[in-house]
Each structure stands twice: as C-alpha cells, then as structure tokens.
Structure 1
Amino acid sequence: MHSDHNNIDDNGYEPNRMSDEGSPMLMSPWNQSSPGSTTSPEDGLIGSMVREEGHVYSLAATRGLLYTGSDSKNIHVWKNMKLFTTFKSNSGLVKAVIISGDKIFTGHQDGKVRVWKSNSKDSRVYKRIGTFPTLFDILKSSMKSKNYVEVKRHHTTLWIKHCDAVSCLAIDEEEGLLYTGSWDKTFKVWKISNSKCLESVKAHDDAVNSIVSSLDGLVITGSAEGSVKVWKREGRGKNMKHRYMQTLLDQECVVTALVVSKSGSIVYCGSSDGIVNFWEELSHGGVIKGHKLAVLCVAVGGNLVFSGSADKTICVWRRVGSIHTCLSVLTGHVGPVKCVAVEKDAESSDKWVVYSGSLDKSVKVWRVSE
C-alpha cells in the first residue's frame, strides 16, 4: 500500500478523499444510523438478495433482469429483487457473465464459455445453446499437430482451448465477436455466429483479469502482472489479427478491473492498491483515490463511476471534465465487493440502479442519483 491512510475512522471512511487534482471533495453527509446513506433521502440501499451458495463472483443486468454467477455452478436470475429462475451449468464456477441481445454468455473456471437463451414461451426456462470451443472443433483441431501450443514446459494444449479459468468476457456487437480473457495469460477471439475461435493472443506474463472492447476495433486487457495493454483489430475473418498497440500502465500492483465509458473515450482501471487510474483518448487523465484496500470492480453509468472494493464499500464518483468527486460511499456489505453493474432506473431519468455482488454471498441493490 503506497498511500497513507492514517486518518480513517471506524467506518473505514476517509474525511478527505481526494482525486488526483487535489480538489477538496464534496463529501456526502455521513450518517451512521443509515448504512446506505447518500445525499438524497430516497437514494441508497433498496434491497439485498442472499442465496447461501457461496461468493458472488459475477453479475450482469439487462431490462430489469439480473444474472448472478457464484461458487455454485448455478446462474441465478433475479427480477424485482426476487429469485426468478435458475439455470445450471454442469461444471465450472461462473467467473464472468455478459449479455448480448437475447443470449447470455458465461465464463467458467474450467476454461469454457457457455451460451444460454431463455425459452420464448416460458421466460423462466433457460437452455444452453452452445459452448466455446465446440466439441466438434476440439476434435477436428486435435487431428493436426500444428494446432498444439506449448503452455508449460513439456505440456501442450490446443490453441483454441483455454487451459485455465475464463476470468473475463467482452463483446463487440457490431463485428459479432466475443473476447475471452483467461488466467492462462491469453485472450481469445471468437465469432459468435459459429462459435469458432479466430485467434489466440499471448497477451501477458500473468493472468488476464479484465478485458474490454472499445470503439474502432480496440481491445484493452488488464493483468495480474500489473499492466494494461491496448490491442488493435486489423482485417476480418480468417485474416483477422489483433496487433499490440501500446501499454497504458505498467505497475507492481495487480490490475483487477477495466471499464470503458459508453462513448468509448474514457477507460477506467482498478487495481489492488485501491487506486483507479483513468485515460481519456488513451492518454493518462489521473488517478482516483477513495479506497483503503484493493479495488475489485468498476462500472460506469452516465457521468457516474462506481468502484467496489475489498474494503466492503462502493464509492460513487461524479465526473466533471477530468475531475472526479466522491458523491457518496455505499456501505452495507460485510465482505469484499467483487462485482458491480449499473442500469438506468426505469422510473426516473436521473437515477441509476446499482447492483453489487460480494464475497459475503449477497447481492445488494442501490439507487443513486446523478
């Protein structure tokens, strides 16, 4: 830990959270009696969902449905803060969930990605409609020796297969591509329409923890080795290659989370030292300091940035230009906040619904105003 945190009170609350520019923070009133206290009376914690099935590692929200992946092999679907349905995977903890149209993609500990779709007649029934890589492609690929790559000394595997957990997923909707990052230090590129692996990129010297797809064919990866790298997609189909473009960050601390703003121009990166770095148009914009332990997840909604941490809190930051001001601190989790997702509030245009999953086995739902 590099930053000094001598003036933290019992709540783990720093009176002078600052952004890099040194502007004094406009802190929300801290109200000890209400754990989800924020600036507006109807904001804050609106619900908590608990299934005693282990840590919540991943979540994704769309159109009022929330999908959560946990220690168990099940993916739970929540609606109005109640368990709506569950679909079961045969193997592999669910490390990552992403939604594209009517499909749900889940990344697993066993190195596979599974694809799910709900039944058009009964929305509570989800069916697995695919696995990346397909069994057929594995068999076909295994016939040729050129398809094997060395992963450890004297140990080879097929290049189309991740040989360790799939830790993160990203989708390029326009190109119909799925990106998978893995603890095996690679990211792979898949054509969604036929489940084919188009490319495998040896991206880092340690686990890939986060991957985002941005505009103009850019892909950004963050790794446990402490670096953030930018890759540019060139060509299409069989000729597609992701070329290394630049390194945005190279540090000792583990990179845990990446997110890109809707416009694609701002990239946020959380790391194990509790700091969030950000870049505008790929040039460093500054750092946001608000946590005393590792940042584990980051999400963006409008001009708000949400950082979830091992310190059990979620900081809500409002961005004006390149200055980030801490609006509020969402407290209530009793374990590290592992994943966070944000959706526009259906009832109010200037509010966001924030979902946070924690290693305390719960998912909490918060309402936050801009």
Structure 2
Amino acid sequence: MREESGATMIANANTLSRTKFGNLLHSDPGILTVPNEDEYPNRNSSASATSPAFNYDRNQMSPDSSPSNMSPWNVSTASPYIKSPWTRSSPLNPFDENFPANGLIGSLVREEGHIYSLAAVGDLLYTGSDSKNIRVWKNQKEFSGFKSNSGLVKAIVISGEKIFTGHQDGKIRVWRVSSKNSSVHRRAGTLPTLKDLIKSSMKPSNYVEVRRHRSALWIKHFDAISCLSLSEDQGLLYSGSWDKTLKVWRISDSKCLESVNAHDDAVNSVVAGFDGMVFTGSADGTVKVWRRELHGKGTKHFFLQTLLKQDSAVTALAVNPSSSVIYCGSSDGLVNFWEREKHLSHGGVLKGHKLAVLCLAAAGNLVFSGAADKTICVWRRDGGIHTCLSVLTGHTGPVKCLAVEEDLESTTDQRWIVYSGSLDKSVKVWRVSELAPDQQHMAAMQRQHVADSYASQVRLSTNTSFSFPGSGKKRH
C-alpha cells in the first residue's frame, strides 16, 4: 500500500458524505482509517532497542492543555470567500505572564479546503490546500492569494522572489512576486519548462519506462509531487514524487539536471541537509542518504547509505542545521533521529504520538512533530537527550504540515512562532520558548499553585474577623 506524508488521517463516516470521503481517498490513496485512536498501538521501531528513548505520560497535564491556552477556531457564518480574521487566545500562562510558557496565540479558519502545505518567510505565511488556492498572510491578516489550475497543493518552498508549489498532477509551478506590487503573484512557469519538454521529446533515449507498456520523459514526474526542498547555497531544488523518483532542478534556469530512481515505493519526504547530503524517506519504510558530488561541469548525486529500513512507511523528514541532526517520522507514530557528530549513527527514538507522524520541523534546539492524533509534540534537544516540553492541542483534525519562524519580538529568550496546518481546514499559530519548563516541571508548578491557593484561602478564612448580631463581641 502506498503511503505518503498526508496519507494517514482520521475520517468520521458520520460527518463525511460518501462523495467527499471518496475525494479524500483519491487525494491520498494510502489513507488509513482508525475507528478509535486509543486502540492504535505504538509499534516498536526496527531501530536499535537499546537507543535512548523518551516516553511521556499523556495523562499528565500539559501547559498547553489548559483551557486558557486553547481557543476554538473562529468559524464564520459569512461566505467562505470573505477574508477570515485571526483570533487571539487568552494569556499564555495563568501563573506568571512573564514565564516563557508554550501556547496558542492565534487561529485561522477558512472553509475552503484541508491545509496540506505551509511555508513561512519573514512576516509572510503561505498556505496551500486542496481548493487549488495558495493564500498569503501578513501581520495576521490575509494579504494576497493566487490560484493554480490543478488541485491539491502538496508542497510549497520559497527562494527569493520565486515561490515553488508541488501539485497532485505531478507538476511544479513557479510563481513570482510582482516588482510593482508585492501583493501580486504571477505565474512564472512550470517545471519542466515547455521548451525543455519539446527539446527532450526529440530523442528516444530520453524516454524511460515508468509502468508496464508506458514510457515517459525522464525530466518529468508522472505522479503526484509529494515534497520539495531547497539547497539555497547550491541553487538547487529537489522534488520527490509518488513515482518513486527524486529529481534535481537548477533554480536559475528551471532545468532538470538529474532524475534518481530513489525508492521502491512513493517518496514521501526529501530534505537537503549538511555536507552536501540529501535525505529521502519513502513508503517503502526506508530513509536513504545521497551525496552531491562534482561530476564534469555539473553535479551528480550518488547513493551513500540507508539509515533506516522498517515495515512502517516513512512519512516526514527534517534536518536541524544548527546541530546537524536528521529526524524521521513514520506511520507507527515514532520519530527516529541520527547525529552527524556520531557519523550518522542512530541516536534514539522519540515516542510521543498515538498515530502516524505526518510532519516535522526543526529550529534552534527544538524539533516539532505533528501527527494524525491531532497534536504537536515539542521536543528540546540537550546533547543527545530529548525532552518533551509540551503537547500542543487544539486542532480537531490530523496535523498535516508545520512551519517555524524566529520570534523577533522576544528579547529575553529564544522563542519561535510555529504554524500548524491541519485537515480540519485551519491554521493555528503558537509561540514556543526554548526555556519553557518540561511537562513534569509544569505539572509540579500547577500542583504547587493549587496548594498555595488553597493555603492562602485557609489563612484568609482563619484571619477574617466577624461578629454575631447583638452579641457585641467579635469572633476571630
């Protein structure tokens, strides 16, 4: 069964019509329906069982499970085509407003499609959905938007003034911001370009067999684009597809430089990493490493090693550039990681989700994992040890995509703005601090707060003086 990063989600048969559910199946052919998420087992990874792992008690109170940190999405009764506002939640922390707690600061809902892709750059947020629209948000307001000719926008990456979007129809579309009006985005082309398609089609040697009795040009994906990644310093764009290939594009002239038969099943994630390495994850259960090397006048990617081979599909990858750690999420709910300083040896497993991990993001010393169980786990890395700081809750559907930007307003500690897109058709915005206490510390603080409040009430009641009518005496 083919699975990809958006392939696992929960569907309620009572609320989805047969036609709509069929459309979801068509968009994500590897969809997994789970009747009860509490019955879903956390299967063990095929990675070393002796590797350090962290497992937390999901029943333990999280600072983000507090009602003060969860605002319901703002469902407008107006037309879905009217710009939807951002909504603010209550203060992040009920104990001390200066304490660097993690929590929800805003929610955006637009009833036009499930959110499948996000990209954040500066003060702009791009959102892609199955409505064919790419929305642009600035300063918590809808800023712009543009529409593609095909459906489902499965991936978005930004390089300067160019925006690349990967689509269900196997095409990569290129958009450019207008030099006269920054809110206007114009279609700049498609990868591969029409010129390259015509030129390539002239040579029979450029055709490869893609299915039985079917051939296609090697420069073109013939199935859905599932993921995109940029290597800014090399000026390269990487695309992964359900057609099992990894393709390499030169950004400057939109030329396809190379096509790699990377996996035995759909490529679900690709990320350009450190030391000229590129990582790919697939529904075949493997994570592979490719090294970029000089080859004649250009570059060529060679297979280096397989980091993981398991039964569960690999659904998401992320690289922390500051610490050179590669993270892998899979359909069994686990996050495996490998460390560059240990020659890419397996570092351990993070156990925080009941259902499939659908997306990952890394920034600073933090890594974020979003899953089909509707939650986002925030992990802090200290050396080789990862601690679960928070479980961000509030989405009512699987968390499909994540994007992270530095919080420039913070002057006291390292904080991040995290955007999460979900199949509940909403985008939520979170503020996360690297100095936030972990779950056990926060639970202890909450217990102490309750105890202090109770003690204060007892002292107040015992020290309050009152008198009985007619007695003329005061009781203490």
Distance 2:161 2:183 in 1: 13
* Residue 24 to residue 74, structure 1, CA distance change in 2 (3 Å): closer
Unaligned ranges ≥5, structure 2: 1-36, 43-49, 71-91, 435-476
Matching residue's letter, 1:306: F
SS at match of 2:198: helix
The aligned residue for residue 306 of structure 1 is 368
Deviation at 1:238, TM superposition (A): 5.5
* Residue 22 to residue 242, structure 1, CA distance change in 2 (3 Å): closer
For residues 11-43 of structure 1, give each alpha carbon's deviation from its aligned partner in whole angstroms, at most 9, with x where no partner exists: x9x9xxxx9635686974575423547794764
Distance 1:180 1:264 in 2: 24
* Residue 79 to residue 121, structure 1, CA distance change in 2 (3 Å): same
Distance 1:237 1:314 in 2: 45
Deviation at 1:160, TM superposition (A): 0.3
The aligned residue for residue 3 of structure 1 is none
The aligned residue for residue 279 of structure 1 is 338
Distance 1:142 1:226 in 2: 34
* Residue 23 to residue 192, structure 1, CA distance change in 2 (3 Å): closer
Higher strand share: 1
Distance 2:166 2:65 in 1: 39
Distance 1:325 1:289 in 2: 11
Name which of 181, 187, 193 aligns with 2:252.
193
SS at match of 1:324: strand
Q: Which moved more, 1:335-344 or 1:40-49?
A: 40-49
Equivalent pair of 1:67/1:76 in contact (CA under 8 Å):
yes
* Residue 227 to residue 42, structure 1, CA distance change in 2 (3 Å): closer
Unaligned ranges ≥5, structure 1: 1-8
The aligned residue for residue 4 of structure 1 is none
For residues 44-78 of structure 1, give each alpha carbon's deviation from its aligned partner in whole angstroms, at most 9, with x where no partner exists: 11111111111100001011100011001111001
Matching residue's letter, 2:366: L
For residues 311-358 of structure 1, give each alpha carbon's deviation from its aligned partner in whole angstroms, at most 9, with x where no partner exists: 000001111011111111100000000001111002014211000000
Distance 2:337 2:304 in 1: 18
SS at match of 1:216: coil
Matching residue's letter, 2:229: A
* Residue 285 to residue 42, structure 1, CA distance change in 2 (3 Å): closer
For residues 68-111 of structure 1, give each alpha carbon's deviation from its aligned partner in whole angstroms, at most 9, with x where no partner exists: 11001111001122211111112242100011122211111111
Alignment of 1:342-353 (within 5 A): 342-349=404-411, 350-353=414-417
Identity among equivalent pairs (%): 69
For residues 241-265 of structure 1, give each alpha carbon's deviation from its aligned partner in whole angstroms, at most 9, with x where no partner exists: 2111000000000101001012362
TM-score of the pair, normalised by structure 2: 0.71
- Count residues in correspondence: 357
* Residue 176 to residue 369, structure 1, CA distance change in 2 (3 Å): same
* Residue 133 to residue 30, structure 1, CA distance change in 2 (3 Å): closer
Matching residue's letter, 1:366: W
For residues 217-257 of structure 1, give each alpha carbon's deviation from its aligned partner in whole angstroms, at most 9, with x where no partner exists: 21100001110000011225765321110000000001010
Higher helix share: 2
TM-score of the pair, normalised by structure 1: 0.91
The question of 1:368 aligning with 2:427 is answered no
* Residue 124 to residue 29, structure 1, CA distance change in 2 (3 Å): closer
